[in-house]
């Protein structure tokens, strides 16, 4: 009889320990990034225009020299996360530069996409963090069936919270506007043919109108409608071919050739999604012969057997967002089968998925 290989068992346990510790301490990556952004480290290093030594960084930050080793360790974890690179300056000296993939573009240059503290800020606010403490209770107690963990934590829905807490609302709008700028840029390139063929587009739940503005500027002959709740569009300035319209997408959507739904449906449960989709179908129905369609920009979670077709980071981002939607708003990230069911329930006959937006895809829905 073969005896259990004790060395093997110990090594498995040690590996297990690494895995569990690594996973449970991952929040430190987010918190370290938050700190670096609040200290304005990316901007300072970028403006230095050459690899910046630790001593130079300490001086620029105006922090006490006794914290030099701590700053070195903060920078080391951020290098490990891929935000910065340490470059050799001389035999004995290293300097920090911002990693090209980190996209910390200058906030002063409006033509560049600004991925900075405004993008990360809402993610690390109490509104995003506190509801997780309620998740176990939410799973276990029947009485919370009709609530989200967010509602348990704050006694109001996430949308009410954004309306009441001015700062949180502003951070949220800024953060989605950054994403809209990024995706808007891709859209005017990748969807050029669609926008050149149609006369009007309504951005349903378009927030403060960033995506609409980009589309309106790129296609001056296109009539753009940015449609969102009253408190979101209130005070926004319209232009030649862009109007901001207040309303409730569950009641009615302004008619247009194309209804755009970017990052909307993942906020809602299936029943609510079917209602929104039906309103969008009504809005584009009369344009059926003129290229009328609904354009959805959302995640399509790959089923497990196809998991290897997307890279690990993309897949993990989709799953993290799925959990966030569950906890915050009772929404979800959907796989193709789930999307197909929603489309059929809303009365659509045909759809096409094109994965052109990083972790998200373009889904075209034909009435
Ligand atoms: C996640 S944001 C997406 C914003 C924008 N589409 C984007 O991706 O940049 C969701 C948007 O839906 C809007 N919204 C929520 N409920 C709505 C409703 N009943 N009618 C219209 N818009 C609504 C919110 O105000 C918010 O601007």
Residue 1: pLDDT band with limits 50, 70, 90: low
Query: Are 79 and 181 part of one and the same domain?
Result: no
124 and 46, same domain (yes or no):
no
Is residue 96 domain-shared with residue 121, that is, in the same domain? no
228 lines ligand 1 (CB under 6 A): yes
CB of 329 within 6 A of ligand 1: the answer is: no
| Structural domain boundaries enclosing 87 | 6-102
Q: Quick one: which atom of ligand 1 is closest to the CA of 177?
A: 9
Residue 17 reports pLDDT greater than 90: yes
Q: Based on the fold, state whether residues 350 and 278 are members of the same structural domain.
A: yes
pLDDT digits (tens, 9 = 90+) for 248-292: 999 999 999 999 999 999 999 999 999 999 999 999 999 988 889
SS (H, E, C) 92-122: CEEEEEECHHHCCCCCCCCCCCCCCHHHHHH
What pLDDT sits at residue 179?
Answer: 85
Query: Is 34 domain-assigned?
Result: yes
For the cut 80, the answer to whether the pLDDT of residue 107 exceeds it is no
Domain membership of residue 265 (yes or no) is yes
Domain final position from 53, 69, 102: 102
Query: Closest Cα to residue 119, out of 102, 133, 131?
Result: 102
In this structure, the answer to whether residues 151 and 29 fall within a common structural domain is: no
Same structural domain for residues 93 and 160? no
Q: Which residue has better confidence, 78 or 43?
A: 78
* pLDDT score recorded for residue 81: 92
CB of 360 sitting under 6 A from ligand 1: no
Residue 207 Cα to ligand 1 middle (Å)? 5
In a domain, 334, yes or no: yes
- Whether 176 and 255 map to the same domain: the answer is yes
Residue scoring higher pLDDT (35 or 289)? 35
79 within a domain of the structure (yes/no): yes
Cβ(249) to ligand 1 under 6 A? yes
Which residue numbers are catalytic? 266
Distance of CA 34 from the midpoint of ligand 1 (Å): 25
Ligand 1, atom 14, lies closest to the CA of: 205
How many folded domains does the chain comprise?
A: 2
**CA 13 vs CA 26, 37, 83, 162, 354: distances in Å:** 20, 37, 32, 45, 43
More confident residue, 113 or 319: 319
Residues 198 and 50 in one domain: no
DSSP string, 62-74: T--GGGHHHHHHH
Tell me the pLDDT of the chain averaged across its residues: 90
**Chain segment 132-169, per-residue pLDDT in tens:** 999 999 999 988 889 999 999 999 999 999 999 988 88
* Lowest mean pLDDT segment, chosen from 17-21, 67-71, 97-101: 97-101
- C-alpha 301 – ligand 1 centre gap (Å): 21
pLDDT on residue 106: 43
Same domain, 11 and 79: yes
Q: Looking at the structure, do residues 192 and 324 belong to the same domain, yes or no?
A: yes
Does a structural domain hold residue 109?
Answer: no
- CA distances, 35 to each of 28, 42, 174, 233, 357 (Å): 10, 11, 19, 32, 28
327 Cβ contact list (under 8 Å, min separation 6): 131, 132, 135, 148, 149, 150
Q: Is the CB of 263 under 6 A from ligand 1?
A: yes
* pLDDT at 118 exceeding the cut of 60: no
Instruction: Find out whether the beta carbon of 331 lies less than 6 Å from any atom of ligand 1.
Output: no
Q: How far is the CA of 270 from the centre of ligand 1 (A)?
A: 17
Same domain, 139 and 200: yes
278 and 180 in one domain? Answer: yes
* CB burial readout 179-190, b (16+ within 10 A) else e: bbbbbbebbbee
**Ligand 1 center to 5 CA (angstroms):** 57
Q: What is the CATH number of the domain that holds 335?
A: 3.40.50.150
Q: Which helix (H) or strand (E) holds 162?
A: helix 158-164
Residue 90, helix vs strand vs coil: strand
What is the C-alpha to C-alpha distance for residues 144 and 136, in angstroms, rounded to an integer? 11
């Amino acid at each position: 009889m073969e005896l259990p290989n004790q060395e093997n068992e110990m090594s498995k346990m040690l590996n297990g320990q690494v895995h569990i510790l690594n996973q449970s301490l991952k929040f430190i990556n987010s918190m370290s990034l938050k700190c670096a952004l609040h200290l304005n480290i990316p901007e300072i290093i970028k403006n230095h225009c050459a690899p910046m030594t630790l001593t130079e960084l300490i001086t620029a930050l105006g922090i006490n020299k006794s914290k030099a080793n701590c700053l070195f360790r903060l920078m080391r974890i951020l290098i490990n996360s891929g935000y910065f690179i340490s470059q050799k300056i001389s035999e004995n000296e290293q300097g920090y530069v911002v990693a090209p993939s980190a996209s910390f573009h200058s906030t002063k240059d409006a033509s560049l996409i600004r991925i900075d503290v405004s993008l990360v800020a809402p993610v690390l606010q109490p509104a995003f963090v506190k509801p997780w403490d309620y998740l176990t209770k939410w799973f276990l107690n029947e009485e919370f069936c009709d609530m989200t963990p967010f509602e348990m934590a704050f006694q109001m829905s996430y949308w009410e919270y954004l309306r009441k807490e001015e700062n949180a609302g502003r951070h949220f709008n800024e953060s989605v506007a950054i994403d809209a700028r990024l995706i808007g840029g891709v859209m005017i390139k990748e969807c050029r043919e669609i926008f050149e063929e149609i006369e009007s587009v309504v951005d349903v739940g378009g927030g403060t109108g960033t995506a609409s503005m980009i589309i309106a500027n790129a296609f001056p002959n296109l009539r753009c409608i940015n449609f969102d709740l009253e408190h979101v569009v209130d005070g926004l300035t319209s232009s030649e071919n862009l109007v901001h319209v207040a309303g409730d997408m569950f009641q009615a959507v302004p008619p247009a050739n194309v209804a755009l739904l970017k990052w909307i449906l993942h906020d809602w449960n299936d029943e609510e999604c079917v209602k929104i989709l039906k309103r969008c179908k009504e809005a584009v129905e009369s344009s059926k012969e003129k290229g009328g369609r609904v354009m959805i920009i959302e995640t399509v979670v790959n089923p497990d057997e196809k998991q290897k077709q997307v890279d690990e980071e993309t897949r993990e981002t989709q799953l993290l967002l799925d959990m966030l939607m569950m906890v915050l708003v009772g929404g979800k990230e959907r796989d193709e089968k789930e999307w197909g069911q929603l489309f059929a329930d809303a009365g659509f006959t045909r759809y096409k998925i094109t994965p052109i937006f990083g972790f998200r895809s373009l889904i075209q829905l034909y009435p």
